[in-house]
């Protein structure tokens, strides 16, 4: 119990509970003003912040009570969760994220693997209570998906997801192979922070080349009759972004700019990391070369993270979105 008390004291020092209580009072005072709801978007964000802060305070109060009652196991569960939040101190860790899944080599098998990962992550989002929306999806010809880009709205979404970026490898008996041969497939997960328009990432209108076209449609009553889909090229870097999930061109333009801002930020970050690592003697380019996790479904069952060494034989649970332990282990390492 002494260890639990010490960990609790450390959390209290780092979490700055008084500052959080002060912020709660500020938002409550703002929300009482008649002008508060004039900007619904801003008001909603602040009410969400208020709710999150109140939950954190409730957790601390409950933890304190459990320690007084000597309920060590229950107290440890809450401490583990609060300690994870202490690892999330990056600039954009507290905000929303943009997650992309790209199928690798392997044809239909790889596209099916990309769809399995898409399902795994969306189940994870649902368990976390995060909202998500598809910005761009390219379906496979026979099955699965070639790629999908999703915005994920939720507190600490980027912080929790950023460690998932990299190559995910699947080994299984392929259902698309008549001989049931064992096959290896790859998919790339990309995770970016959602960055609001600001001076941090400057985008000049002259640097943008816009194209508009009809979004792909499955026909029926909602068949596209206007050019709502957008293709955006950033001329200085050559970065190309597409967005077509929304019915209105303006919304797709906003989504395209959102992804471009995030990609430009990543470019800056990679340049800085490369300079730092070159001084230390090595640098790995993020992308297809960097395998982070292996999922084996045949001849045995095992999911293993190659960075932390954490593994489990419960592959069904992992593919159903229960990836918290993998996320937590990587957070401690970052």
Place of tokens 């959390």: 11
What pLDDT was estimated at residue 157? 94
Are 95 and 158 in contact by the 8 Å Cβ rule? The answer is yes
What pLDDT was estimated at residue 10? 84
Fold topology of 97-185+283-333? Alpha-Beta Plaits (3.30.70)
What pLDDT was estimated at residue 222? 36
- Low-confidence residues in the chain, pLDDT < 50: 217-225, 283
How far is C-alpha 183 from the chain's CA centre? 28
What pLDDT was estimated at residue 326? 97
CA distance linking residue 285 with residue 330, whole number of Å = 19
The CATH classification number of 205-280 equals 3.30.160.20
Are 213 and 187 in contact by the 8 Å Cβ rule? The answer is no
- pTM equals 0.77
What pLDDT was estimated at residue 315? 98
Q: Cβ atoms within 10 A of the Cβ of 201, count?
A: 16
Contacts 24+ apart (CB under 8 A), 10-17: 11/60, 11/79, 11/82, 11/83, 11/86, 12/60, 14/86, 15/56, 15/60, 15/82, 15/85, 15/86, 17/57, 17/60
What pLDDT was estimated at residue 199? 56
The CATH classification number of 2-86 equals 1.20.58.410
- The residue ranges of every structural domain in the chain are 2-86, 97-185+283-333, 205-280
């Amino acid at each position: 119990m002494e260890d639990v008390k010490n960990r609790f004291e450390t959390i209290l020092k780092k979490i700055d509970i008084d500052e959080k209580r002060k912020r709660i009072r500020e938002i409550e005072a703002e929300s009482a003003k008649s002008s508060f709801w004039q900007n619904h978007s801003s008001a909603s964000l602040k009410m969400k912040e208020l709710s999150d802060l109140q939950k954190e305070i409730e957790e601390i109060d409950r933890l304190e009570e459990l320690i007084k009652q000597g309920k060590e196991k229950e107290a440890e569960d809450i401490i583990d969760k609060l300690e994870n939040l202490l690892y999330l101190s990056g600039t954009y860790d507290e905000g929303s994220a943009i997650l992309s899944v790209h199928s690798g080599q392997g044809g239909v098998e790889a596209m099916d693997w990309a769809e399995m990962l898409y399902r795994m992550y969306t189940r994870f989002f649902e368990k976390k209570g995060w909202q998500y929306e598809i910005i761009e999806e390219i379906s496979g010809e026979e099955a699965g998906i070639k790629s999908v880009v999703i915005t994920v709205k939720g507190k600490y979404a980027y912080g929790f997801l950023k460690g998932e970026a990299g190559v995910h490898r699947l080994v299984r008996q392929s259902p698309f192979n008549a001989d049931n041969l064992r096959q290896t497939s790859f998919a790339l997960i990309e995770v970016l922070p959602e960055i609001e328009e600001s001076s941090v990432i400057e985008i000049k209108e002259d640097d943008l080349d816009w194209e508009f076209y009809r979004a792909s449609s499955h026909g029926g009553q909602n068949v596209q009759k206007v050019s709502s889909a957008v293709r955006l090229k950033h001329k200085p870097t050559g970065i190309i972004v597409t967005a077509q999930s929304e019915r209105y061109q303006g919304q797709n333009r906003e989504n395209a700019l959102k992804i471009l801002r995030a990609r430009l930020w990543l470019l800056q970050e990679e340049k800085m990391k490369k300079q730092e690592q070159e001084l230390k003697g090595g640098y790995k380019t993020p992308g297809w070369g960097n395998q982070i996790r292996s999922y084996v479904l045949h001849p045995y069952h095992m999911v293993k993270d190659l960075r932390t060494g954490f593994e489990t034989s419960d592959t069904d649970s992992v593919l159903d979105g229960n990836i918290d332990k993998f996320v937590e282990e990587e957070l401690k390492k970052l």
